[in-house]
Amino acid sequence: MILLAILIGTVAAGVGSVWLAALLSFAMLARFTQHMLSLAAGALLATAFMHLLPEAFESQASAQELFAMLLAGLVFFFLLDKAELWHHGHEHHQGDAPAAAHGHDHGHAHAHAHAHAAHSGHAHASGHAEPRSGGWAVLAGDSVHAFGDGILIASAFVADMRLGVVTALAVLAHEVPHHMGDLVVLRQTSGTHRAALVKVSLAGTVTALGGLVGYFLVAQLEDFLPYFLVAASSSFVYVALADLIPQLQRRLGLRETAAQIAWLLVGIGLVTVVSGLAH
């Protein structure tokens, strides 16, 4: 009975929050793309700094170990990004090799330009936007975060059924603003709303896996929860600072700059308020 309740609670929290976020974010994305990027950056940063990291540091884990984990996570996602960009550039270079009329140097320059375009989000003359980097970092962070949420929900259900229900609802509520940010990033990397929704939903299902594992190993896994939280934080901080905010760093008029800052603060405020209510 408890295991069934855990599975229902974790699926509702993990996937339900994604679909609710999709209803809110995709309705706004078409009209307010730049504003949604600001909101996404604010939501990801607030999730890391106002929710996940404080929770990790409230544990008995060593602060030095947690900071080392945060640093390792940032370096890992940087390398993951590099590998993704290199793969895009290499793929394009290989495809152009037979038709290269100006030799190896031209092909290499073309490949480098392609990799740069993939990172900066510029479009080709044909009008098709290049895939952006950052998608895998978001999905990896989401999956780790979801696994930790699943363990948290399982722990609550094992302690008390009513506490489990409240915890599942709290997780669902505080994940919505954060998933709005994820969907904006994945929409850019995947190219379509549907692909972004499927990817984030699949990451959300890891909550159920965390719940299942947590049910059987809750005592042993509790010590590792702070490290899951910090690992997830590192991905959100990296994507916000390396991928989203650079897109916003353009010379704009006073009105547009004020709007960017306002939407960034809205993203931070949403996560802070909802996390506070959830606690």
Token digits of residue 249: 């760093």
pLDDT band at 104 (very low <50, low <70, confident <90, very high): very low
What's this model's pTM, rounded to 2 decimal places? Answer: 0.63
Gap between the Cα atoms of 232 and 227, Å rounded = 9
Is the pLDDT reported for residue 200 higher than 50?
yes
In a domain, 113, yes or no: no
Q: What is the DSSP string of 4-56?
A: HHHHHHHHHHHHHHHHHHHHHHHHHHTT-HHHHHHHHHHHHHHIIIIIIHHHH
Total residues found in the chain within this entry: 279
Residue 244, both tokens = 């989203």
Mean pLDDT confidence for 146-153: 86
Q: Is the pLDDT of residue 106 over 60?
A: no
Residue 50 pLDDT > 70, yes or no?
Answer: yes
Segments forming the whole domain that contains residue 26: 2-78+130-278
Can you give the pLDDT at residue 72?
94
Residue of 53, 80, 81, 82 whose CA lies nearest to 69: 53
Q: Is 246 a domain residue?
A: yes
- The residue among 31 and 149 whose pLDDT is bigger is 149
Q: How far is CA 219 from CA 93, 158, 159, 174, 222, in A?
A: 51, 11, 12, 25, 6
202 within a domain of the structure (yes/no): yes
Query: Would the pLDDT of 126 be above 60?
Result: no
Could you give the percent of the chain with pLDDT greater than 70? 77
The answer to the question of residue 50 being in a domain is: yes
Percent of the chain with pLDDT over 90: 13
Number of independent structural domains in the chain: 1
**Res 41 pLDDT > 70:** yes
Does residue 258 lie in a domain region? Answer: yes
SS3 assignment, position 129: strand
Q: Residue 48 falls within a domain, yes or no?
A: yes
Residue 55 within a domain: yes
93 assigned to some structural domain: no
52 or 111: which carries more pLDDT confidence? Answer: 52
- Between 225 and 255, where is the model more confident? 255
CA max distance for the chain = 70
